[in-house]
Amino acid sequence: MHLKIAILPGDYIGPEVMAVAIPVLENVLKKSGHTLEYSVHDVGGAGIDNHGKALPDSTLEACRAADAILFGSVGGPKWEKLPPKEQPERASLLPLRKHFRLFANVRPGLLLKNLIETSPIRPDRIPNGVDMVCIRELTGGLYFGAKSTTTLADGDIEAIDTMVYRKSEIERITDVAIATARARRKHITLVDKANVLETSVLWRKVVGDRIKATAPDITLAFIYIDNAAMQMVLKPGQFDVVLTENMFGDILSDEMAVVCGSLGMMASASLGMDINRHGKGYGLYEPSGGTAPDIAGQDKANPCAQVLSVALMLRHSFGLEAEAKAIELAVEKTVADGIRTADIAGGAKAVGTKAMGQAILARL
Ligand code: IPM
Ligand code: MG
């Protein structure tokens, strides 16, 4: 198979962790006899600095021509003074998600039993580790509804974000959750705020009806977002597939990541309905965390989330399950061998980004 990939490292730690992920990708493909063609493009702050725009036309063009996008992370203090609309996150990552209609964000939260000590959660709360997956709706809700800021007649200032959801949008993400649940423990927890929000009431109805009609083998639980945030640290084992709207998913998936050890360990796949040249889903793969400006340039960032994003890409956009597994096992073995970056070292001696990358490569 010939894989064509657009690589968009982005800002701050983005390029550092990408520099670890690329050799891992090259290595695993070489071993299995596949060929790789990739090109690296500016995005986010790097796009603004080098092309005057967070999502340069040439970057978008390269993404269109590729089978999948491997993304780093964007944004940071350097560009925070720009008008909000021009800032890296809003002007590159969100348009990319929208442009390629990547409505389903899949974030696996896996903490293996033998790595429990990397979690900040008390071990007796997670005796069997953690194994859940967050399915976050990614192209609707507050992120994409109408926005405005207006100075009112009395001089007060009003800002508005709108949360909009259609039945069809909820149905298609529910189908992703159903398919995900079927390959797992067959349980979906819908997280919402149906005691207050109109959109949440619609979510409950649509998800409930859809599961009743098409997936009677799946059990469904409803939980409010505030309670979910609490349950996530109290008893994470109760969750299998967590289904939720865009912003709740943004918040809850960070919490899930840290329960599973660290945000630095969590990969994500953003999938849509487009099919690539290999008949597989076109997708964007990125760490769930951000650019971590505070540790950028110091060889401190955990590259695992970026490396595990490569595994998700090989699995979802190319059907290369064995290669994906090989990468996941190499990361798992590295961490189990006690080789850890500071975020998961629990105060013990940590290694840097590059050394972590070498250790993963050696175990591949
Ligand atoms: C994420 C990030 C993004 C989001 C930001 C960078 C816009 O936090 O992928 O979770 O909120 O979706
Ligand atoms: Mg986030």
Tokens linked to 218 = 């799946």
How far is the CA of 58 from the CAs of 5, 47, 61, 67, in angstroms?
14, 10, 5, 16
Scored b (16 or more CB within 10 A) or e, 99-111 reads: ebbbbbbbbbbbb
Q: Would you say 32 and 52 are in contact if contact means Cβ atoms under 8 Å apart? A: no
In 3D space, the residue among 177, 191, 174 whose CA is nearest the CA of residue 241 turns out to be 177
Q: Which atom of ligand 1 is nearest to the CA of 286?
A: 9
Q: Say how far apart CA 258 and CA 118 lie, in whole Å.
A: 9
Task: Identify the three-state secondary structure at position 268.
Answer: strand
Question: Over the stretch 259-316, which tens digit does the pLDDT of each residue have?
Answer: 999 999 999 999 999 999 999 999 999 999 999 999 999 999 999 999 999 999 999 9
Which protein residue has the closest C-alpha to ligand 1 atom 5? 89
Report, as an integer, the average pLDDT of 139-163. 98
Which DSSP symbol is given to 43?
A: -
What are 104's two structure tokens?
């389903």
Name the residue with the closest Cα to ligand 1, atom 7: 89
Name which residue sits closest to atom 4 of ligand 1, judged by CA.
250
Please, which pLDDT band fits residue 362 given cuts at 50, 70 and 90? very high
Pocket lining: 255 vs ligand 1, CB cutoff 6 Å: no
For 72, 163, 313, 351, the CA distances from 143, given in Å and listed in that order, are 20, 8, 24, 37
Q: How many residues does the chain have?
A: 364
Would you state the pLDDT for residue 61? 98
Cβ-count burial of 349 within 10 angstroms (0-12 exposed, 13-18 middle, 19+ buried)?
A: exposed
pLDDT tens for 38-49 read 999 999 999 999
- Measured from the alpha carbon of residue 75, the closest ligand is 1
Domains for the chain: give ranges and CATH numbers. 1-119+270-364 (3.40.718.10), 120-259 (3.40.718.10)
- What CA dihedral angle connects 282, 288, 294 and 297, to 10 degrees? -40
Q: Choose among 246, 310, 256, 313: nearest CA to 93.
A: 246
* Host H or E run for residue 163: none
Say which residue the tokens 């409930």 belong to.
Answer: 208
pLDDT, tens digit, 9 for 90 and up, residues 59-69: 999 999 999 99
Whether the predicted pLDDT of 115 surpasses 90? no
Q: Residues near 298 by Cβ (< 8 Å), separated by ≥ 6?
A: none
Catalytic residues: 143, 193, 226, 250, 254
pLDDT tens track for 324-334: 999 999 999 99
DSSP letter for 92, please: I
Tell me, in angstroms, the distance from the centre of ligand 2 to residue 178's CA: 23
Given ligand 1 and candidates 93, 253, 271, which is best to mutate, with the most ligand atoms within 8 Å of its CB? 93
What pLDDT score was predicted for residue 167?
A: 98
Q: How far is the CA of 75 from the centre of ligand 2 (A)?
A: 12
Q: Does ligand 1 lie within 6 Å of residue 250's CB atom? A: yes
Q: Which atom of ligand 1 is nearest to the CA of 89?
A: 7
- Residue 146: pLDDT band (50, 70, 90) is very high
DSSP 125: G
Q: Is the CB of 257 under 6 A from ligand 1?
A: no
Report yes or no: 283 and 269 within 8 Å, Cβ to Cβ.
Answer: yes
89 lines ligand 1 (CB under 6 A): yes
Task: For ligand 1, pick from 107, 136, 250, 312 the residue to mutate: most ligand atoms within 8 Å of CB.
Answer: 250
pLDDT exceeds 90 at position 124: yes
Q: Which atom of ligand 1 is nearest to the CA of 254?
A: 10
Query: Rg (Cα) of the chain, in Å, rounded?
Result: 20
**Integer Cα distance of 305 and 72 in angstroms:** 10
pLDDT tier at 114, thresholds 50, 70, 90 = confident
Q: Quote the CA–CA distance of 54 and 80 in Å, as a whole number.
A: 13
pTM: 0.96
Identify whether the C-beta of residue 284 lies closer than 8 Å to the C-beta of residue 270: yes
Task: Say how many Å lie between the CA of residue 266 and the centre of ligand 1.
Answer: 13
pLDDT of residue 113: 86
Whether residue 93 has its Cβ less than 6 Å from ligand 1: yes
Average pLDDT in the chain: 97
Task: Say which residue the tokens 């999948």 belong to.
Answer: 68
pLDDT(258) > 90: yes
Please state, in angstroms and as integers, the Cα–Cα distance from residue 250 to each residue in 134, 245, 289, 364, following that order. 10, 9, 10, 31
